[in-house]
Each structure stands twice: as C-alpha cells, then as structure tokens.
Structure 1
Amino acid sequence: MRFLTGRRSKWAVLLVWAALAMSVASLARHANDVTDNNIAEFTPAAADSSKVRELLAKETSGQDMPAVVVYVRDSGITPADRARAEHDLPGVRPIPSADGRALLAVQPVNGADDGTAYDTLTAIRQRVGKDVPDGLKVAVTGPAAFYVDGADAFLDADLTLLLVTLAAVAVFLLLIYRSPVLWLLPLLAACLATGVSQGLVYLLVQGTGLVVTGMGLGILTALVFGAGTDYALLLIARYREELRAQGDRHLAMATALRATLPVLAASAATVLLGVCCLLVADMRSSASLAPVAAVGVVCAFAAMTTLLPALLLVFGRWIFWPLVPRIGSVAREGLWSRAGTLVSRRPRAVWAVTVLGLTALCAGLAGARIGIPGTEAYTSPPESIVGQRLLSDHFPGGMSAPIEVIAESGHAARIARTPGVARIVSATPYGDRTRFRVAPTDPPESERAEQTVLRLREIPGALVGGQSAQQLDTALAQQRDLRLVVPLALAVILVVLVLLLRSILAPLLLVATVVLSFGTALGAGWLIFDRILGLPALGFDAILLGFVFLVALGVDYNIFLVHRVREEVSRTGDHRRGVLSGLAHTGPVITGAGLVLAATFTALTVLPLVWAVEFGLIVAVGVLIDTFLVRSVLVPALLLDIGERVWWPSRPGGERARPRPARTLVR
C-alpha cells in the first residue's frame, strides 16, 4: 500500500498511467479496424451449416456469398425495368416472378475475411439505388447483404454508444457526490481504463489472432464503465469514512485500500471468472467475448485501485467540496440505516414478502416466446430485411436462400421427394460428392423450412447448410450453451464466495438470491419487451449474456454488503448490530453503483439489434432489482433471521477487530 499511497510514489503511479495512455490507450482508435463481423463469428463452429459454408467457400475461392437484388413494380415489371436490371448487373440474367411484378438477380460476392464482401456489396447498393424510377422498388438482400447490415449495426452505433455511456455515468456521479469536481476523477479513471483495454485488445488481435466482434467492443465499453464505477464508489466511500477518523489523507487512503482491496479483488475475480465461463460456448461470438471482457475487468480493477487513489491524494480533501469530511464528523443517518431498522423488526416477514413479490415477477415469463426470427432481428429493418420481405411476397419461399445439400449423387431422388422440398435448383459434382441447391417450399426463416432441414439431415452422409440450416444450428447451439454455461458460472461464483466469506451456508444463500434475481429480471424484462416495446421474442444471446453479466456483476453487491457485514460482526461481536452497520455503510454505495451500472447497460439499447436491446435492459432491470430489493432488503432480512448460523462453519464474531489508527493532524 505504501507505494500506491505514498507522498512521492503517488506521482510515479500517475506517470505510469500517463505512459499507458500515450502508448496503449492511444491505440484504442484502431480497435474497430480489427473487429471481425463475418457471419462465421456469429454461428456455431462445429455445426453442419458451418462446415458446408467453409467447404463451399474453399471450393469456390470465396465466391459463394451471393447478393440478391430484387426489383418490384406493383403495376407490373416493364421492359424498361428489365433493361435497368440487366444494366445494373452485367452478365446476370434477371428472373421474373410468376405474378409479373418482380425481378430477381443474383450476383456472387467474394466472402473473404478481408473486407471485400463489405466493399463489393456497398458498391452494388450504390449502383442499383441510383436514380430509381418512380414506382419501382429496389432492394439488395441475400447472405452478403445480411452480413453487411450486421456489421453496420455495430459500426454505426459505436460512437453513439460511447457518448451515451459517458453522459449517463457523468450525470449519476454528479448526483451521487453532489460535488462539482469529485465526479470527474472516477470518470477520468474509467475513460483511461476503457482506452487502455481497447488498446490491449487491439494488440492482442495483432499479436495472437484473437477474434473480436463489434458486439464485443460495445459490451467492453459498458463493462469497463459499469464495473469500474462500482469499484470507484466503494473505494471513495471508504476513503471518506477514513478521512473522518484521521487527518493524514495518505494514511486514510492506505487504510481504505487495505480494507477494500480484498473486496474489490474478489469482485473483479468473480466477474473475470464468470465471463471466462463463456469460453466453453459453442457460439463463436459468445466464446470470443470472454477474453475481451476479461481484459476490460482487469483494466477497470487496476485503474480504480491504483490510478484513482493517486488522483484523490493529489487533489486532497477539498475535492469533496462542498461536503468535505472533517475529523470527528459523523455521517448523517441515511435511508439504508433507517431501512435496516425497519427490516430488523420483522425480518422473516420481510424476506418472505420480498421472495413472494420477486417470484410473482418471474411468472411474467409464462408464455414467453424464445428465439428471434432473422427477419425480426432489428429494431428498424435494414435493406436486407426489406428485400427479403419483397422476395417472399413475389417468389417461392426458398427462392432467394436455397438449402445447400452435399451428398452422394445417388441421393438425388430422395432429396427431391423430401417433404418441404419444392425442387432441386442445381446439382454440381463436388469431388466424390454432389452439391445440391434445393429450393424449399417455405420461407428461409420459417419453422417449416427448419423442419425440412432436419428431414434432409436424415439422409446418410448428407451435410446440410444454407440460411435455414444456419438459423436452426444457431438456435440449437445457443440452447446448449445455456445448459452448459449457466451451471458452470454458478459453480464458479459459489467457490469465490466460499473462499471470500470462509463460510458455506452464506454463499449458498447468496447464490440462491442471484438465481431468483435473474429470474425476476427475465420475467420483468419480458413484460417490458412484449407489452411495451412490442419485441418479437426473447433472444437466446440476450438470455445467456444477460445471465453471465447480471449474475457476475450482481454478486459484486453481495460481496460489498456481506464482506462489510462480516467485518462489522468481527469488530463488534454482535451479529445483529453488524448486519445493520454493514447495510448502513454499503447501502448508499450499492444504490449509487446500481444506478450507474444500470445506466451503462441501458446505453446498449442504442444498438439497432433486438437481442442487444434485450440484453442491455435485462442487465439494467436486474441490477435495479438487486440494488433496491435483493441486496438491500432480502439479504439483510435473511442474515438477521438466520442469525450467526449463516457464517457456519466459521465464527466472525470471535475474530479480533482491527484497531483504527490514531488520529493525526490534517494533511
């Protein structure tokens, strides 16, 4: 602690961070340049559809990500419209619809990972969208268009997301501290931590080949600001408390760090290990998020335990103006002190009613729709979705997105007879097998088209891919990831809590409240999505990531509260007094931290993807429930009702309290 809080060494800490800002954080502006939003990163690695896509890309030298251009005139396609289509895409023969009101043209696009597909598709859209005649509707859709629109969903919102996050954190810090200056220090530390984390991610991509998606960078920003601000609030609250006990601010900071560092380390370790559970996910986008989030957590922890203390020491006590902590002053009794007194009168009734209310909110999940169709994946439909809908109106269901079947040529008749298959569009020899392009009778995003995929997979040795197969495989992989990651994350969190609290019963109790909190957030979230926002369904991504981040970050508040309770019980030897004192000290911190964290994840709603909006709101709603009900009412009530047995097998009441340092002159 001496180095971090010394009168001279604090300047060395600031110099180290200045060097990091110039050398690493300066690279943050290049982070977006190395993101990979290729469709392969948002699909399961081991699925048949992924194997088919990789095989086709290899055999066709990447020229197998088609762009589909659709021309529609409600009064009927004219010769001029046909001539325009032939001019827009030279060498491509437009296909007329049976109703005579639409044309379809397919342009192969190089699907290599070097940005060629993005540039080519953008050029096609500019060409076909120029000087469109009145009455003619033109849209570019197909796999290439879906890929580009998915990439744009992150690129276009990146700056907006950062600005919204900054504004939200700044406003809440200003309200929490009621100081015109103090809020700037944790915000500055969070900004530097974000810059350093993005710079490190850039270096990791360059040096190790780590795959980072636009989704990963967006979540990294919210995570660093949210978790980092939580850590800052706890440290500053303890520092203010110590300033009331002694005059030397350097000793006060050393004492505050000594008391909070184990808590912050345990909190960071919980989030770190929680997000690392995503490494076992089959979905590459989820698995690739783990190292990115881990870097963010480490940077947030480092900034708030080294940079922030140094900044606070440099500016001295006046940084708290107008509420400067004076020696011997006593903090006024706050809301959570009074709340603790009320809870302590009838703790069993309080926790029973709270559990009943939270369980009732869980019931909001009844009848929830799970799995977002691809055509409804955006809050505002991009051109690829608009084009897909136009195709569905005028062409057979699977015309724009045939099912790809790679099988022995002798299976052609069986493929053609499979229920749900309209016809075999083409059959191309492929080594010792044949590539069949199959037009299904149903639209590619429909459940019936997925059933057709399953029936085709019953053919011995057949690999089935394409848009419908990819959607099916993605949904199955996401369900598997939920079944695998959720229990693993709970087990990891339980182990961390056992090690921190040196207890078995208390961690089990806290993990149970975590599960209840998530269920409540999901139930309340679905009511908001369905009844207020009119969203189509709950996304599997939103559920999985919502669970991992809400549980990992929500446990922070468990750790803040229960570790302080244990400290107070050890100091006073009185369990009831320790619980109430711990709540009084940490309640304001948890309230402020919850508001800031909820605000940072709510910022994710600026992304135009339905699952991202749901993810951000699930975490935000869950954090608020954690803040105002679970950690501040339910957990204290349970601790009071169970009594000292909650610490079994240890006995914190028997531990000797740490004496406070002697008061010194104000410095």
Structure 2
Amino acid sequence: MDIKDRAPKRWLRLALPAVLIVVWLMVAGLGGPTFGKISGVSSNDQASFLPASAESTAVRDWQLKFVDTNSIPAVVLLTSTQPISDRQLGELAALAPTLGAVPGVQPPSPPATTAIAGPIPSPDKLAVEFLVPISDTGKLNTVVAALREAVAANIPARMTSYVTGPAGLTADLVGAFAGIDGVLLLVALTAVFVILLVVYRSVVLPIMVLLTAVVALCASILVIYNMASWGWIKLSGQSQGILSILVIGAATDYSLLLVARFREALHQVASSWAAMALALRGAWEPIVASGTTVIIALLCLLFSDLNSNRSLGPIATIGIFFSILAALTALPAFLVAFGRTAFWPFRPRLGPSPAGRHAASGGAGMEGGARVEAGVEAGPEAGLAGIGGLWRRVGLVISRRPRLTWVATLVLLLAASAGVLQLQANGVPQTDVILSQSDAVDGQRALGRHFDAGSGSPVVIIAGAAQQAQVLAAVEHEERVAAASIYAGPGRPVPGAAPVVRDGRVMINATLADQADSAAAEDVVLNLRASLPAVDSTVLVGGVSATALDTNVTAQRDLVKIVPLVLAVILLVLMLLLRSIVAPLVLIGSVVLSYAAAMGVSALVFNHVFGFPGADASVPLFGFVFLVALGVDYNIFLMTRVREEAREMGTRAGVLRGLGMTGSVITSAGIVLAATFAALGVIPLLFLAQLAFIVAFGVLLDTVIVRSLLVPALVYDIGRHVWWPSALGHRK
C-alpha cells in the first residue's frame, strides 16, 4: 500500500497529536518559571572560569588562607572640585561605619573596628577612597546598590560619589545581563514572528513555529537549571543568553525545513497524516544530521581549558537536542492537528505545487510520473522544470557559467577574508566591556585621575616567608608598580606591622600605576612572572590583572586546539551522511572560507565603524563554532536534497533541482537565524554585541553567497565526481 493511502485509525489520529501537545505544554509549564530563577545559579566571576592549573587560580586559593573570606573589594570614591581639608577628611571618616553597616559588607575581624580601609586621600587632595570588602558575593549587585544609596545619602552635596573596583564593575556587569530573560527573548521572538509572517503570509503557522521554539527553550532551561543547581555545570549570563538565541534560531530552522516538506506534500496527498509522513520521511534525516553535527561541534568545547567555554558545550548541546526533539514531535502534532488550516489564508491545494515536477519536462516527483534516466543532463534548464522566479534565474546562471560563478564568489570571499588581519582579539579592559552607562566604569576613570589607576585591584604575589624582603624589593623595582606591601592584616598597611604568614608563605599586594584590567597591567604581570622566580622559585603572581591575562592566554590556546577538532568531526559526519569524500571536503572548505570572510568584514566594522577598543579573546572561537556548525546545517539541507534528486536525474540536474527546492527555505532559515543572533545586540555588553554581528552577518553571507552560488556552482562544475567514491559518483 502506498504511503499516501495509509492512515491510522481515527482515535489514534486524534489522540497522538493531543498527547504530544499536552506533554510539551506541561514541559513548558514546568520550565517557564525557571526563567526567573536561573540567574540565582549563574556566575559572572571571571576568575571562576579559569582552569585549576592557571597561576591566578593558585593565587586565589592562597588568598583564602590569608583573608579567610572570598570577599570582593569595592572602591567607594568621593571626588570634589575643591581641595579636601584635614577637617573634612575627619568628618568623612564617619562614613566608614555607615558603609560597614550595609548588609553584605564583610564584618570586622577583632581587634579591628571595621574591615573598611579609608578614608584615603588622593595626592591632589581632590578625592578620597574607601576600600570596602563585600563578603556576600551571591548578592553582589544588591550590596553594591545599597552601598551607592548609603554613600549618596551621607556625603556633602558638593561631592560626587562612585562605587567601583572589582565589586562595582561585576555588579554593573550582572545588571547588563538583566535583560536576558525579558528583553532579549521578546526582541528575538518578535523578529522571528515578523519574518515568518512575511515569508508564509499566515498568522497561524508563525505561532506554531514560535511555540515549538519556546517549548524547546523551556525544556532546555528546566534541565540546565537543575544541572547548574547540582553543580554539574557552570552557568554564566553569557552562556544563558547564547542558549536562548541558539534554541530559538535552531528550532525555527528545523521547523522551517519540516514545514516546507509538509506544504510540498499537501500538494500531493489529501490527508494531512499522509502529508506529514512524507514530510518526516524527507526531513528527519537532514534535521537529525544537522542537529547532530552542531551537537558534536559544541561538545568539542569540552576540550577547552577555559571553564566558560567548556561549560557552554553541554549547555548548548541540551538546547540543540530539545530543538530537534520539538521540531520532530511538537511541530508535527501542531501541523497534523490543524492540517491545511495552518497555512490560512493561503491553504495548499491538492495538485502540482508551484515548484513541483512536471511530467512533460521529464521530471519525476515523489508521487511517481515520468523518470529521468540517471546521467541525462542535457541543456542548461535540466532540473529547473516547474521552478520559477529568483531560484530559476540563479539556477540558469549556475548552469550556464558554473566555473565563472564559483571563481567570482571565491575571489570575493578571499578579499573579504583579508580583513581578518585587522582583528584585535587580545582581550579588552573590563571597563570597555559594558556598553551602557555604568557608575563603576565612570568611577574607574575618575579613580585613575586622582589615584594610581590600579588602586583597589592590586597584583597579588605569594612568596616564601624567608625570601619576603627580596621579593618585595624586586616587586617595588618594577617600573609600573606604584606601591607594594606585605599583607599584615585587614585595613590599610601599617608600617612595621608583623606580616601574616601561612604555611611558610606571605602575601604581597602591589598597586599598579595602570588600570588593573589594561594591557599595560598585564605586561607588568608578565614581567613579574619572568623576574621573580630568580629571587624565589616558588613565587606565584595573581590578582585581577593576572586573571585577565590568564583568561586571554587560555582562550587563544583553546582556539588553536578546538578549531581543528571541530573541523575533523564535522568532516567525518558529512562523509558518513553523504557517503562521499569529495563533497564533504568541498563543504568544509566553503564554511571555513565563509567564516574567514565574516571575521574579516567584522574586524573592519569593529575597528572603523563602531570604534570598538578590541575584542574578547573568546570571540574568534565562539564565532567559529557557531558559524561553522550552523553553516554546515545549510550545507546538509542543500546537499541531502541534491543527493536525493541526483539519484533520479543525475548530479548536475539534481544540483539545480535541489537548489530550487531548498533555496527559499534555506534563505528564510538564514534570515531567521541572523535575526535571532542579532537580538543579542540589545544586551549592552561588548562580547555579545560582537558575537551578534559576526554570526548574523556570517549567516547571511553563508546563505546568500556560499549556499546559493559558491557551493551549487562548484558541485555543478565537478559533476558526478563530487560523490566519489560512492556508487552515485560512478554513474555515467
């Protein structure tokens, strides 16, 4: 019995979609509320993402032995337009107990009356600072907000106050992530809805597709929230935002492929059940293969040394898994339940589709009809029967001038790739990470005008007690070190005080003349790590500057290690899927070239249009993983259809047919994915803004140039040999 004639019993036709819909809605009901709670199990502390082997991590562990707390310092800065007198300085001293009373500030350790150091006057007498350790790091943004209120309510009207330092900057960073749960999702979903509305001119279908993406995201969030609360993974606001966009984009892409097959099948059969069976038969393999490829590429991040990169692997994998599952279960249930009404008001009618096969042209559809002999590829229009509009014109260009087409696009992409030489992905200061107004960033700049710029964020050196004097002298000899002292307890250093010794070690704090997260400060760390071992072979150098340095170095090392690994596993998957060696090599080459072109254009835009100060060291790796993995998605969508058509009409005609049948859906999917990643730009953080542009532009470049011109023209020019060594490659 033919598949179009088979249909399950009526009770099953009613019950199965209903059960699937109810199950997914229940999952959404459980996962939805976790959106508001997930920030409670995430961390944005840069140091926590370093590997245990990093020198900064070792120093951080030693610090806990000296201070017995995991507190983060805040710098309360007060500036004045007039010099601050000794009497005024004495009056400001009363502010210290007020700051110490703020909930979350580290309590004093006997015999000290407060853990706060200050007021410390600046050399120019125009500012004072208080160093306030915050012990409640889990509610850092709340504590910093309370500090800002307390300071503003208790200083003279003529003075300006800031709460900055590591605690202030981290709190403002957390605040910048606050829009992830609401604004980001709203912008992304709205953009996708508008695009789908324009593409399908239907109100019902976009809602179904978005609902599929939302239930996939809810299921993902539910699993990830529990994994993070159990301590299995490290979740950050950065990975949370990427997860949301990735799930919405991927689930929508997979849904569009299924919807295209379903609508095509509705022109061939009357029953929506039979149409779904045909759609799933044609769509499940590319959807599963595409999703599996993305999952494998993401799991390669588990080999990263940087914990933030490594944790994104399983987080994003969970999102892709539920995207596949929802696209193959939830969406079919919605479509079967609504049938042709899903496309209202333009319901597909039974009969030849606008791009269907015409028997008169010699084509053969899934429903049968005249069949073209394999190897018959006469004429430039072979394979374009029934295909009109843009994709017919593109197909004719490729069939008439295949070599000129792929050479021209290759030259264009190589020219764009040259811009990658201007990419400055060596890390940026934390004060440049936040793109919106930030009290901490403003305070850090003011701090640099009145104090040593590294005040409040010292370089921390752990040295042997026996060599403390020599190490201290060597540290003070470093040109950009403004001051250095051996830790003798909480509060300001007291001359002559006995140093605190732990396990035969002392801790030296070195205040830099440069901002703690600047490139100049990282150079000081490198110099100290190079020179101090000659004095003490056991010395360790850490602190905020060292953490930034170690993060950048680790991220760059990850790029070199993970890129070849991702390419190797994707190549293997493509070989298994396409049963070929030549075609996968062509496809891998195309996505690498597309990535290089996207990064080249992005570097030029970042430097000369947006004026960004540089890029995070992880930007090239994240851009690579997403562009290559998602670019391969579209390769799979195209080439699985080309292979299917090539079995019937030969490779060259199959290329044109496959391009014509998938061109619209791949273009729509690319636009949707670009729009969803572009939504990351609403979060005012440099890393996410840059990733948004790279992926959005890269996906559009891949969709419009690579997948529409370069790959089809190159495969057309190679002909049947592209399938070597499979049997399809030997057909005459």
TM-score bin, normalised by smaller chain: over 0.9
Query: Is the CA contact (8 Å cut-off) linking 1:63 and 1:108 kept in structure 2?
Result: no
Matches within 5 A, 1:414-425: 414-425=474-485
* Residue 106 in structure 1 maps to residue 131 in structure 2: yes
2:241 equivalent in structure 1: 218
Shift of 1:523: 1.2
1:355 equivalent in structure 2: 410
What code does the residue aligned with 2:435 have?
T
Query: Is the CA contact (8 Å cut-off) linking 1:31 and 1:199 kept in structure 2?
Result: no
1:399 equivalent in structure 2: 455
Distance 1:58 1:245 in 2: 74
Distance 2:423 2:342 in 1: 49
Matches within 5 A, 1:130-209: 130=153, 133-209=156-232
What code does the residue aligned with 1:73 have?
S
* Residue 643 in structure 1 maps to residue 719 in structure 2: yes
Task: State percent identity of aligned pairs.
Answer: 42
What code does the residue aligned with 1:386 have?
D
2:109 equivalent in structure 1: none
- Report the secondary structure of 2:13's partner residue: coil
| Structure 1 residues 153 and 41, CA gap change in structure 2 (3 angstroms) | farther
| Structure 1 residues 111 and 134, CA gap change in structure 2 (3 angstroms) | closer
- Report the secondary structure of 1:94's partner residue: strand
Shift of 1:344: 1.3
What code does the residue aligned with 1:270 have?
T
RMSD between aligned alpha carbons? Answer: 2.2
Matches within 5 A, 1:238-277: 238-277=261-300
Q: Which of the pair has more CA radius of gyration?
A: 2
What code does the residue aligned with 1:359 have?
L
Distance 2:238 2:39 in 1: 11
1:452 equivalent in structure 2: 524
Distance 1:3 1:192 in 2: 27
- Report the secondary structure of 1:477's partner residue: helix
Matches within 5 A, 1:374-523: 374-409=430-465, 410=467, 411-427=471-487, 428=499, 429-458=501-530, 459=533, 460-523=537-600
Matches within 5 A, 1:68-87: 68-78=75-85, 82-83=89-90, 85-87=92-94
| Structure 1 residues 148 and 20, CA gap change in structure 2 (3 angstroms) | same
What code does the residue aligned with 1:583 have?
L
What code does the residue aligned with 2:472 have?
A
Query: Is the CA contact (8 Å cut-off) linking 1:264 and 1:301 kept in structure 2?
Result: yes
Query: Is the CA contact (8 Å cut-off) linking 1:3 and 1:10 kept in structure 2?
Result: no
* Residue 7 in structure 1 maps to residue 13 in structure 2: yes
1:661 equivalent in structure 2: none
2:622 equivalent in structure 1: 545
Matches within 5 A, 1:20-99: 20-62=27-69, 64-78=71-85, 82-83=89-90, 85-90=92-97, 91=114, 92-99=117-124
Q: How many residues align?
A: 652
| Structure 1 residues 30 and 424, CA gap change in structure 2 (3 angstroms) | closer
Q: Return 618-627 or 419-428, whichever deviates more.
A: 419-428
What 5-or-longer segments of structure 2 have no aligned partner? 98-113, 356-387, 488-498
| Structure 1 residues 294 and 394, CA gap change in structure 2 (3 angstroms) | same
What 5-or-longer segments of structure 1 have no aligned partner? 656-667
Deviations 1:48-84 (A, max 9, x none): 1122123213442325421111111133225675356
| Structure 1 residues 503 and 242, CA gap change in structure 2 (3 angstroms) | same
| Structure 1 residues 89 and 111, CA gap change in structure 2 (3 angstroms) | same
Query: Is the CA contact (8 Å cut-off) linking 1:77 and 1:100 kept in structure 2?
Result: yes
2:671 equivalent in structure 1: 595
For residue 279 of structure 1, the aligned residue among 289, 302, 313 is: 302
Deviations 1:606-627 (A, max 9, x none): 1111111000110000000011
Q: Return 466-475 or 634-643, whichever deviates more.
A: 466-475
Q: Return 543-552 or 119-128, whichever deviates more.
A: 119-128
Query: Is the CA contact (8 Å cut-off) linking 2:81 and 2:126 kept in structure 1?
Result: yes
Shift of 1:110: 1.1
Distance 2:232 2:90 in 1: 46
1:236 equivalent in structure 2: 259
* Residue 294 in structure 1 maps to residue 317 in structure 2: yes
Query: Is the CA contact (8 Å cut-off) linking 1:165 and 1:600 kept in structure 2?
Result: yes
* Residue 578 in structure 1 maps to residue 654 in structure 2: yes
Provide TM-score, normalisation by structure 2: 0.85
Distance 1:23 1:399 in 2: 47
Q: Return 348-357 or 120-129, whichever deviates more.
A: 120-129
- Report the secondary structure of 1:540's partner residue: coil
- Report the secondary structure of 1:625's partner residue: helix
Shift of 1:367: 3.0
What code does the residue aligned with 2:281 have?
R
Shift of 1:389: 0.9
Shift of 1:566: 0.4
Q: Return 412-421 or 93-102, whichever deviates more.
A: 412-421
| Structure 1 residues 158 and 135, CA gap change in structure 2 (3 angstroms) | farther
| Structure 1 residues 58 and 329, CA gap change in structure 2 (3 angstroms) | farther
- Report the secondary structure of 1:74's partner residue: coil
What code does the residue aligned with 2:518 have?
S
Query: Is the CA contact (8 Å cut-off) linking 1:396 and 1:441 kept in structure 2?
Result: yes
For residue 627 of structure 1, the aligned residue among 697, 703, 709 is: 703
Distance 1:609 1:349 in 2: 42
